[in-house]
Amino acid sequence: MFRATLFLLIYLLKIGLHPAYSQKDSSKIIKKVPGQVHTSISQSPKQKDSLKTAKRLPFVIEHGDTIPVYTLQDTRVSPPPPDAATLEKQKEWERLLRNVRYLMQYANLCAYKMHEIDTKMAAMDKKHDRKKYLRTEREQMVKDYAQTLKDLSAYQGKLLIKLIYRQTGKTSYDIIKEYESGFTAGFWQTLSKLDAMDLKETYDPKKDVMIETAIKMSGYK
């Protein structure tokens, strides 16, 4: 047993003294020097490069503690996504605002034409001349705007009725009755009811707050 152990020891010493083995394993020899810490793990070229490029962080010392200082990158904080009810309200508001901006021009046109027609008819003495003038104006307005108004949806029609009242102070029913006849006004009122519209609809800025807000935001008075 002693001879076997001595033989193994001599064999290991030969391996350690052999140049090929000593060069190969020299990187694994740990040389201890007081005050320094060494590692026996070999480092790859990539690890060596990372050590060369490493930067020392600035630090402050407070109450004997060394605290590294690091500036973080800006972080964007977004609000949580709105729920379905909020999205629906937003969608409805955008629809109202879009249609108010589109329809106010026709409500203002109605108010302007009414003022123009009333002014010119007041200067005419003969009833025949007033009827002739009114018929000519009606035919021209039908030619210019009939197709556009015909293409309006029921939602737009209801909104326009309110806007006309706001700009003229009269319901659409009363306007038709004044410039046409009570029979014609009743006829159009009946047709409007089929689309769930009411030509006698009025406008109240206190009740129709959303519409009033949309009008102001659109730059109209």
The per-residue pLDDT for range 42-62, each reduced to its tens digit, is: 555 555 555 555 567 788 888
Domain ranges (residues) in the chain: 87-217
63 has a pLDDT exceeding 70: yes
Q: What is the mean pLDDT of residues 140-156?
A: 91
The mean pLDDT of the chain is 81
Q: Per the structure block, which two tokens stand in for 111?
A: 């108010």
**Predicted confidence band at 1 (pLDDT cuts at 50, 70, 90)?**
low
Q: Per the structure block, which two tokens stand in for 168?
A: 């003229």
Radius of gyration of the chain (CA): 46
Specify the amino acid at residue 56.
Answer: R
Question: Could you write out the three-class secondary structure of the chain?
Answer: CHHHHHHHHHHHHHHHHCHHHHHHCHHHCCCCCCCCCCCCCCCCHHHHHHHHHCCCCCEEEECCEEEECCCCCCCCCCCCCCCHHHHHHHHHHHHHHHHHHHHHHHHHHHHHHHHHHHHHHHCCCCHHHHHHHHHHHHHHHHHHHHHHHHCCCHHHHHHHHHHHHHHHCCCHHHHHHHHCCHHHHHHHHHHHHHCCCCCCCCCCCCCCHHHHHHHHHCCCC
Residue 221: per-residue pLDDT? 85
16 has a pLDDT exceeding 50: no
168, 179 in Cβ contact below 8 A?
Answer: no
Q: What is the mean pLDDT of residues 104-109?
A: 96
Question: Does residue 183 or residue 9 have the better pLDDT?
Answer: 183
Q: Residue 172: which residues within 8 A CB-CB, separation 6 or more?
A: 161, 164, 165, 199, 200, 201
The per-residue pLDDT for range 149-207, each reduced to its tens digit, is: 889 999 999 999 999 999 999 999 999 999 999 999 999 999 999 889 999 999 999 99
Residue 83: per-residue pLDDT? 87
Write down the pTM of the prediction.
0.64
Least confident of 66-80, 128-142, 148-162, 195-209: 66-80
159, 100 in Cβ contact below 8 A?
Answer: yes
40 has a pLDDT exceeding 50: no
Question: Does residue 165 or residue 15 have the better pLDDT?
Answer: 165
The per-residue pLDDT for range 200-211, each reduced to its tens digit, is: 999 999 999 999
Give the separation between CA 190 and CA 68, rounded to whole angstroms: 81
Residue 4: per-residue pLDDT? 52
